[in-house]
């Protein structure tokens, strides 16, 4: 599948100031949804506590700090050989495996890596850490779409509001924001409409509380693969296709070999 010029491959930053709201759940499923359409990349920018590798059950040989060092030594180095593959169509760039290694990655390193990823001309998903690190801010600036994840808890929604306000204060384009309401049926006293009203966005993804979401992350098999007909998967798959500009068509069986 190729995209027309109106649909350049999306570069999606998945963000949420509150920890544990579902960034990795959304990011890993979104990346897998893209990869069912075309070769795609997910990057774990949660430098100190990244967990994307567990969401996919892979063991990386190279990680972000290895790529950063390689590019510092030789800026023309190929990224491809340093990705971790998950099936034929999804490439992972996983976070450092120690805090010391994470400390060695600078904002400049990440800007270089992100630029090289964009040049690959594939959908890219950037999973971020909670809070607002410099890496997250840089990801927000670089991304064509920003998926803002919130649960239906007041604290999570208020933190999301603060992020939107900050983006506006920094004159960052908030039209790129898409709202993902996670665990929307968890009976917290707020519903999706309350969240939409408070944040000023219609929800692009509505993901219910579901043990399959959590089980999928623990088993290395995100829900778009393990339960593709579930409400959570359907919502994420639909959003992924809307970003790709796809309405119909067969998804790749994930384990097929890429055609040569
Ligand atoms: N819709 C859901 N239903 C049930 N459990 C969920 C759902 N979404 C996320 N979880 C679970 O909640 C926990 C936190 O989710 P996740 O790791 O995706 O959040 P996060 O925002 O990435 O966290 P962090 O801020 O630590 O990076 C995980 O155990 C995950 O399995
Ligand atoms: Mg996470």
Q: How far is the CA of 30 from the centre of ligand 2 (A)?
A: 14
Q: How far apart are CA 67 and CA 59, in angstroms?
A: 16
CA 52 vs CA 80, 95, 246: distances in Å: 18, 8, 26
Please report the atom of ligand 1 found closest to the CA of residue 232: 1
Q: What is the pLDDT of residue 259?
A: 38
Give the mean model confidence (pLDDT) for residues 226-238: 97
What's the pTM value of the predicted model, to 2 decimals? 0.94
Give the mean model confidence (pLDDT) for residues 7-20: 92
Is the CB of 230 within 6 Å of ligand 1?
no
- Domain annotation for the chain: domains and CATH numbers: 20-244 (3.40.50.300)
CB-based contacts of 187, cutoff 8 Å, min separation 6: none
Is the CB of 50 within 6 Å of ligand 1?
no
Percent of the chain with pLDDT over 70: 92
Please, is 80 exposed, middle or buried when counting C-beta atoms within 10 Å of its C-beta (0-12, 13-18, 19+)? Answer: exposed
Is the CB of 114 within 6 Å of ligand 1?
no
Spatial CA neighbour of 214 closest among 172, 191, 251, 186: 186
pLDDT in tens, 171-223: 999 999 999 999 998 888 899 999 999 999 999 999 999 999 999 999 999 99
Q: What is the pLDDT of residue 258?
A: 43
Q: How far apart are CA 158 and CA 3, in angstroms?
A: 37
């Amino acid at each position: 599948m190729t995209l027309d010029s109106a649909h350049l491959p999306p570069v999606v930053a998945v963000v949420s100031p509150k920890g544990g709201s579902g960034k990795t759940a959304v990011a890993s499923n979104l990346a897998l949804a893209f990869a069912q359409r075309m070769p795609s990349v997910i990057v774990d920018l949660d430098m100190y506590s990244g967990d994307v590798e567990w969401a996919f059950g892979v063991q990386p040989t190279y990680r972000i700090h290895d790529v950063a060092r390689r590019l510092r030594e030789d800026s023309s180095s190929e990224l491809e050989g340093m990705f971790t593959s998950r099936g034929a169509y999804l490439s992972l760039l996983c976070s450092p495996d120690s805090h010391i290694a994470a400390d060695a990655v600078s904002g400049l390193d990440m800007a270089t890596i992100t630029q090289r990823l964009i040049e690959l001309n594939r959908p890219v998903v950037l999973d971020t850490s909670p809070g607002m690190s410099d890496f997250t801010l840089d990801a927000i600036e670089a991304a064509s779409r920003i998926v803002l994840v919130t649960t239906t808890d007041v604290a999570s929604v208020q933190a999301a509001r603060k992020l939107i306000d900050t983006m506006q204060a920094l004159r960052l384009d908030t039209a790129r924001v898409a709202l993902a309401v996670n665990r929307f049926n968890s009976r917290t006293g707020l519903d999706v409409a309350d969240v939409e009203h408070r944040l000023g966005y219609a929800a692009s993804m509505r993901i219910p509380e579901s043990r399959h979401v959590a089980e999928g992350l623990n088993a290395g098999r995100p829900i778009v693969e393990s339960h593709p007909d579930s409400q959570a998967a359907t919502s994420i798959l639909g959003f992924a296709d809307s970003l790709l500009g796809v309405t119909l068509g067969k998804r790749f069986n994930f384990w097929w070999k890429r055609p040569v």
